[in-house]
């Protein structure tokens, strides 16, 4: 999926679109209002740790009332978006402020040096929730993307919509523990150990055109799924796993609000292996939104994740049982 006219320092190219009707936020929610309302985005943190959501509006669309904030465990915050808004949300983790006052995060950092991202996007790897409101035919287009990698579970749930499929989408499972070693991002812990905190895309890890869908591989006919993108697709069938994964990963709705959950609870999840009739009918090109960022090149030599290929189906089965799929 590609998002056009959206300035960003990070990521590879990809496509999408998106919209919503107003919902009554919970009394504990903080609500920010902006202009003529097209949708309310409600962000909820179900993780056992603090998440710092980042917000990036596409160029040419109005900015929301904030570009970054903290969500403690169990907290909710709602943001109103104006008509025809497009942009993305993501969660930052392992964040801190140093002695000089500079704020930074181990995953999803936007490089602004403060909690507000101020027009900068997430450094990969990061799980992205992407939206275009009032797109073609008055429909909203939305997706959850792992094209720039993965850092935490995210689920998008339309609220009160009509038209389109208005399907739940996302990546509700924790992939950090089962991430192939070639893609794993590890953080040292204070006790001398280490923790897997994110999972890179193959483009981020190796910088090769065939993984980044660039150069001679810059079209749906030449850029195909790799063993690495298939790792993400097997785990999260409704999420984008590589740049041209449109057919099963873009969803539509109209007159809805959107709930974005970090570390979603099992009671909010629909079966992620359900077919996506909306996405199957979507054209491969999308002029509404295209993110085109610089590729992050690594000199690591790619090797097929053999152990992951053996162990991952077992891990998925365990995760599916825990999540009630």
Per-residue pLDDT of the chain (325 residues; tens, 9 = 90+): 444 333 333 344 343 333 323 333 333 334 344 445 789 999 999 999 999 999 999 999 999 999 999 999 999 999 999 999 999 999 999 999 999 999 999 999 999 999 999 999 999 999 999 999 999 999 999 999 999 999 999 999 999 988 889 999 999 999 999 999 999 999 998 888 899 999 999 999 999 999 999 999 999 999 999 999 999 999 999 999 999 999 999 999 999 999 999 999 754 444 333 444 444 333 332 322 332 222 333 333 333 333 333 334 434 443 443 444 4
Asked whether residue 124 is assigned to any structural domain, the reply reads yes
In the chain, the number of structural domains is 1
- For 60, the domain range is 14-323
Q: C-alpha angle with apex 118: 242 to 23, nearest 5 degrees?
A: 75
Residue 92's contacts (CB-CB under 8 Å, 6 or more residues apart) are 51, 52, 53, 54, 68, 105, 107, 108, 109, 110, 122, 126
Asked whether residue 3 is assigned to any structural domain, the reply reads no
Residues recorded for the chain: 325
* CATH code (residue 171): 2.60.110.10
Asked whether residue 168 is assigned to any structural domain, the reply reads yes
- C-alpha–C-alpha distance, residues 237 and 276, integer Å: 10
**Pick from 200, 232, 189: nearest CA to 302:** 200
Mode of pairing for the β-strands spanning 76-82 and 30-32: parallel
- C-alpha–C-alpha distance, residues 128 and 198, integer Å: 13
């Amino acid at each position: 999926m590609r998002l056009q006219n959206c300035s960003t320092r990070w990521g590879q190219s990809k496509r999408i679109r998106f919209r919503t009707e107003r919902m009554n936020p919970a009394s504990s929610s903080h609500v920010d209002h902006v202009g003529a309302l097209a949708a309310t985005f409600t962000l909820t943190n179900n993780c056992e740790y603090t998440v710092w959501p980042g917000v990036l509006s596409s160029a040419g669309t109005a900015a929301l009332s904030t570009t970054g904030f903290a969500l403690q465990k169990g907290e909710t915050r709602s943001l109103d978006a104006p008509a025809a808004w497009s942009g993305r949300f993501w969660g930052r983790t392992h964040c801190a402020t140093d002695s000089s006052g500079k704020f930074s995060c181990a995953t999803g950092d936007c490089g602004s040096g403060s909690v507000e991202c101020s027009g900068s996007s997430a450094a990969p790897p990061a799980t992205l929730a992407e939206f275009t409101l009032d797109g073609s035919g008055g429909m909203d287009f939305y997706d959850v993307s792992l094209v720039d990698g993965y850092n935490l579970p995210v689920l998008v749930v339309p609220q009160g919509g009509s038209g389109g499929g208005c399907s739940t989408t996302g990546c509700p499972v924790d992939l950090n523990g089962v991430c192939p070693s070639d893609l794993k991002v590890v953080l040292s812990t204070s006790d001398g150990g280490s923790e897997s905190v994110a999972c890179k895309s193959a483009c981020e890890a190796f910088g090769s055109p065939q993984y980044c869908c660039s150069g001679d591989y810059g079209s749906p006919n030449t850029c195909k799924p790799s063993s690495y993108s298939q790792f993400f697709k097997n785990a999260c069938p409704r999420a984008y796993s590589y740049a041209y994964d449109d057919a099963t990963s873009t969803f539509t709705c109209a007159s809805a609000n959107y709930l974005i959950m970090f570390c979603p609870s099992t009671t909010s999840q629909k079966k992620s292996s359900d077919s996506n009739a909306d996405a199957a009918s979507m054209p491969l090109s999308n002029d509404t939104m295209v993110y085109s960022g610089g590729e992050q090149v690594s000199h690591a030599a790619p090797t097929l994740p053999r152990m992951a290929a053996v162990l991952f189906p077992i891990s998925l089965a365990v995760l599916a049982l825990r999540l009630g799929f």
